[in-house]
Amino acid sequence: MSILFEAAKIKNLTMRNRFVRSATYDGMSDLSGQVTESQLKLISDLAEGGVGLIISGIMYVHPSGQISSFMNSIAEDKLVQGLRKLTAKAHEHGAKMAAQIYHGGREARFVKTRKQLPVAPSVIADDPHYRGSYREITEEEIGEILDAFGQAARRAREAGFDAVQVHGAHGYLFSQFLSPFTNQRTDRWGGILSNRLRLHRETYRKIRNAVGEDYPVLIKLGVEDGFAGGLTLAEGTQACRLLAETGYDAIEVSSGVRGEKYEGTEYKTKINKPSREGYFRLPAREIKKNAKVPVIAVGGLKTIDMMEDMIRNREADFIALCRPLITEPGLIRKWEQDPKKIPRCVHCNQCLEELHHGFPLHCVTFRGKRL
């Protein structure tokens, strides 16, 4: 049997294989952030389809972090009941499930509908990478957000999630703090790396206090920005080492503040030759080599041979997929039967474009086709 299909552990959480559904926003919650029937079906299909660990889509922990109308919230106790149904679907079919807990920082555009401005570590004048309006976050607001992450993690545990994953990538609040480009603060939250990483480490402590010692706390980290002058891989690697020392139980390796669309982002396109596959393989390998923590690799992974090599060569411990599982939620079972199978997904990002236009998640290219 392929090493990919062997059971594996993060802390004391055992997964039936090494396949992770990377967090995927689905635009399917109701307007109050509650779980819907479509989401139960989606999670059920993925779990039945063989995924080992399903990471939810982004869930905001505090209203100031909300980016869109149809995203799940984990900011209030009343949401726990609905979330419990979601984790039950995963468990019913043998999968484990983690909640991705999130704050959008300056990208939390939805807060403008409440006549407020999104917050960020610093306001960057004439930023070629981001054009929205936002304001600098205060020390007091940082404290409130830290508390909100602790409370959200407690709710996740109560709702039956097997782990939480802090969203520390893709240009959102944690990326904005870590990047020397977007964080130009001169107080204890800015400047040297340990200051820019303070939010990540204090968040861990809040979460740990709320969920106890035995619960897996993961982070998805943007280990380099998508443009020159942003966070470098050398600093991103050092950041992972510090986060492992802090206590995070696994790190999913992705990119940070976005550069040019789509090449400078986490969802690159044109994965049409082997050299384009696994586009964060090198950073994952760097982190695996330098930090004592399980590594989840993600980004353009599509062939079993490459994924197996990565696990066998100790470049990563887990393999995460997003877009291929939008097209084929049953892909992992299909691979189990036929490891040579090529995923149908062509990484065209039309799923993403449709989400941005307010449609729920679906594969545009293969819509309506039997796969």
Ligand X SMILES: Cc1cc2nc3c(=O)[nH]c(=O)nc-3n(C[C@H](O)[C@H](O)[C@H](O)COP(=O)(O)O)c2cc1C
| Active site residue ranges | 172
100 contributes a contact to ligand X by CB under 6 A: yes
With both helix axes pointing from N to C terminus, report the angle between 80-92 and 139-158 in degrees, rounded to the nearest 10.
50
Among 220, 258, 281, 285, binds ligand X (CB under 6 A): 220
Number of residues that bind ligand X (CB under 6 A): 26
Span 323-352, contacts to ligand X by CB under 6 A: 323-324, 351-352
The residue from 107, 202, 224, 266 that contacts ligand X (CB under 6 A) is: 266
Binding to ligand X by residue 154, rule CB under 6 A?
no
- Upper half-sphere CA count for residue 247 (Cβ side, 13 Å): 16
Q: Does the footprint of ligand X cover residue 4 (CB under 6 A)?
A: no
- Residue with Cβ nearer ligand X (38 or 184): 38
Question: Residue holding tokens 């109050």?
Answer: 32
Q: Which of 62, 154, 157, 167 binds ligand X (CB under 6 A)?
A: 167
Minimum distance, C-beta of residue 211 to ligand X, in the bound complex (Å): 20
Contact 317, 295 (CB under 8 A): yes
Shortest CB 101 distance to ligand X, Å: 11
- Helices (H), ranges, the chain: 37-48, 80-92, 139-158, 173-178, 193-196, 198-211, 233-246, 281-290, 304-312, 323-327, 331-337, 350-356
User: Which residue type sits at 261?
Assistant: K
Minimum Å gap between C-beta 168 and ligand X is 9
Please, what is the end-to-end C-alpha distance for the chain in angstroms? 25
Scanning 22-30, 124-132, 195-203, 210-218 for contacts with ligand X by CB under 6 A, the matching segment is 22-30
Closest approach, Cβ 170 to ligand X, in A, equals 6
Q: Is 321 in the site for ligand X (CB under 6 A)?
A: yes
- 283 interacts with ligand X by CB under 6 A: no
300 binds ligand X (CB under 6 A): yes
3-class DSSP assignment, residue 98: strand
Residue 299 contacts ligand X per CB under 6 A: yes
SS3 288: helix
Q: Is 22 in the site for ligand X (CB under 6 A)?
A: yes
Q: Which stretch binds ligand X (CB under 6 A): 16-24, 80-88, 176-184, 328-336?
A: 16-24
Which of 58, 223, 295, 319 binds ligand X (CB under 6 A)? It is 58
Cβ 320 to ligand X shortest distance, Å: 7
Question: Three-state DSSP class for 35?
Answer: coil
User: Which residues, in sequence order, are bridge partners of residue 58?
Assistant: 100
Measured at the alpha carbon of residue 246, what is the angle toward residues 245 and 250, in degrees to the nearest 5? 80
- Are the C-beta atoms of residues 257 and 181 closer than 8 Å to each other? yes
Is-contact 29 77, C-beta < 8 A?
A: no
Cα(181)–Cα(274) distance, integer angstroms = 32
355 binds ligand X, rule: CB under 6 A: yes
**3-state SS, residue 13:** strand
Question: Contact residues for ligand X (CB under 6 A)?
Answer: 22-25, 57-58, 100, 167, 169-170, 220, 254, 266-267, 298-301, 321-324, 351-352, 355, 361
